[in-house]
Chains A and B, each alone.
Chain A
Amino acid sequence: MALNTPHAPAIATAEATSSATGAQIAAALREAGIAALLTLGLSIPILAFKTEQNQANALYLQPRWGVVAVACALIFALRFVLCLRAARRAAAPPRLKAPASPALQKLFGIAVPLFLGVAVAYPVLATLASGGLGGARYWVDLGILILTYVMLGWGLNIVVGLAGLLDLGYVAFYAVGAYSYALLSTTFGWSFWLCLPLAGILAAFWGIILGFPVLRLRGDYLAIVTLAFGEIIRLVLINWVDLTNGGAGISSIPRVTFFGVPFDSSEGGFASLFGIPFSPMHRMIFLYYLILMLALITNLVTIRLRRLPVGRAWEALREDEIACRSLGINTRNTKLTAFAIGAMFGGFAGSFFAVRQGFVSPESFNFLESAIILSIVVLGGMGSQVGVAIAAVLMVGAPELLRNLDFLKQVFGAGFDPNEYRLLIFGLAMVAMMVWRPRGLVGHREPSIVLTERKAISGSLVKEGHG
């Protein structure tokens, strides 16, 4: 406690706080009133009227002043509490910002093995919880989806988090990977295990192709060009009908096999080979462990790369490009390796996507995908592997939870679908994050090498990169 009040005696501060309360409340009320009025103004075009159809199929406006009143009251209360808190905090003596407590650090130490354990045991847990392989299908499918995004987040983390290059077109490499597998396997009949590295290499090649023209660009300009690149790939996929079958996509892509053994009920299939009753869930569980392995490889390689000169050069590039040049780092090649390696992992994930779906079409690779992957990286804390994993679970898993909140129907009526509010909650979460954790969930950086004592580096010192 003595730490919190370094100079002023405690009594004096308490007096100052209590005497200021009356004025504070008045100011907070005024602020809240203004906010409520603003809400009212905004509500009139957005909330106040709803278009409905009557029996004659004609549109009419149904006023909803009750909803507007609720919204205004909510905003009033929220703003009032926030203002009061801010005023209290301003009146209170400045607190010394405590460094990350040892308990928190220990929590991070436990978190990693815990996550790993849960991830490995997940299909078993899901089966036990839903009482049978068939019932676990939804949950294993969700797990695969989350892990795909974890892997994509880790891949993009190399480009955005480590090298500080803002890439808005990451989905392009995902698409290159997916189409590589789809085309190679349907045209030449090559197996997944042969196509997987090829898809990675092709995506890395496209990463370099993208990298060259954008090397000179920084910040916003880099972001716009990468965004355009993502769109170009998607438009080429739609319009090059001879190769890609256009918007109809490529279907009947060969399914994954257990190292050559197909997952089917035939004589030489997986089930009969191991002497267990056939279930389509075997393939799903295999896919789950496949993406888990791919994601973990991505993670291990990234952790390793961070401790190698190339990884340090990426981070140095994010911190100060000019200093890098003066130290003899070839900034062009360093950026290209970041693009290429990030793209390679995107390609692996894409190839997995194709083998899981058995069908690819350009619609799966729109800008929203890039935006989601980028927000996973930003929400997680740029450069932090654990943070990206947590963010992927939150961003992909939480919207799925919305589907299961049936009890809300009893509150809001049968027509209420919480899933419709997905993007709203998404936006609110982003705003909340900007207010409370502007550097992401894990806002500190781990040093890549330690001489005597490992200390986390505060996010306020770490730069985001200029592109």
Chain B
Amino acid sequence: MRWQDDPVLEVEHLKMRFGGLVAVNDLSFSVGRGDITALIGPNGAGKTTVFNCITGFYRPSEGMLSLRHGDGSTLLLERLPGHSISWKAKVARTFQNIRLFTGMTVLENLLVARHNPLMLASGFTVFGLLGLPGFRDAERQAVEQAKFWLEKINLIDRADDPAGDLPYGAQRRLEIARAMCTDPILLCLDEPAAGLNPRESHELNELLLSIRQDHGTSILLIEHDMSVVMGISDHVVVLDYGTKIADGTPEEVRNDQSVIAAYLGVEDEEVEHVEAEVGL
């Protein structure tokens, strides 16, 4: 199992408390390098909270999140400031409700994702203000990278349109492309297939598989669409009420009794049994 031998992210004893509410309780799992890992569970199970902890939007109450780069160096995500998670640790994310810069063009959206490298190239604005060639080269490279991604997500013709004008499915793809423009080693997708029709969701599968194949980026995704989850993921982690109830390959999880109970409820005989107990 790759997620045990060569994990890119190890979540250990993660706990997130909001006042009296424990949203995530003692959660441990690993994300294998080059795997597509799905984090699933019923509504309110704490999936997005886990994402927010990994990507620095929440500071975990307890636990450790260690990210291993290919060169063997390890970073503790819970100790990094929020903006360093993308820049230093190379973890990118998308959002459940799409968060594009709607008033900026598609191309501008992708260039904002290259903020830190371009900022360095522009000598923190000083060289850029003077118009030195180093910055212009860096910007040209960033535009080339953006063009590559726009071709990949079939939006090259709409590069100069405002992102808010794109149809919903295209906005989802653009958000993934924007996250990929930060050159991440771990891409966290929060319900990428939500609101997509079957054809779009099939295209999304293709896109995710090619990201994994061509860029060696590991993917961690939250998803309710089981055709996506079972179709492309190598590893599935199931959450319910903030705790892990199953962890394994898609086949193992599909046949797991506690997962079936969490998703579909319990069997009819047991319901009768319980009803008899309470006197119905």
A residues within 8 Å of B by Cβ? 301, 304-305, 308-310, 312-313, 315-316, 318-320, 322-331, 337, 445, 447-455, 457-458, 461-463
Contacts and interface: CB of A to CB of B under 8 A. Distances in A.
Given A330-B83, A455-B160, A455-B161, 12 more contacts: A305-B125, A309-B125, A310-B119, A312-B108, A312-B115, A315-B103, A315-B108, A316-B101, A326-B92, A327-B115, A448-B104, A449-B107
Contact of B112 (A312, A322, A450, A454): A312
Contacts of A455: 105, 160-161
B143 interface: yes
Contacts of B95: 322-323, 326
Instruction: Sort chain B's interface into a size bin.
Output: 35 or more
Given A308-B129, A316-B101, A461 B83 contact: no
Interface of B: 55-57, 82-87, 92-93, 95, 99-105, 107-108, 111-116, 118-119, 122, 124-125, 128-129, 135, 143, 147, 159-162, 164-165, 178-179, 182
B185 to A, nearest CB: 13
Contact of A463 (B103, B114, B178): B103
Query: Which of A310, A337, A451 has the most chain B CB within a 10 Å cutoff?
Result: A451
30 contacts: A308-B125, A308-B128, A309-B118, A309-B125, A310-B125, A312-B112, A313-B112, A316-B104, A319-B102, A320-B100, A323-B101, A325-B57, A326-B99, A327-B86, A327-B92, A327-B178, A327-B179, A329-B112, A447-B107, A448-B108, A451-B107, A451-B159, A451-B160, A452-B159, A453-B160, A454-B160, A455-B160, A455-B161, A461-B102, A461-B165
A337 B125 CA distance: 10
Contact of A326 (B55, B102, B104): B55
A329 B128 contact: no
A304 B129 contact: yes
B125 A312 contact: no
A7 B107 CA distance: 35
Contact of B86 (A304, A328, A331, A452): A328
A461 B103 contact: yes
A17 B159 CA distance: 43
Q: Which 5 A-B pairs have the closest CB atoms?
A: A462-B103, A328-B86, A328-B87, A319-B101, A461-B164
Contacts of A309: 111, 114-115, 118-119, 122, 125, 128
A333 to B, nearest CB: 9
B100 to A, nearest CB: 7
Nearest to A326: B93
Query: Which of A315, A316, A331 has the most chain B CB within a 10 Å cutoff?
Result: A316
Contacts of B179: 326-327
A309 B181 CA distance: 14
Contacts of A326: 55, 57, 86, 92-93, 95, 99, 179
A90 B112 CA distance: 42
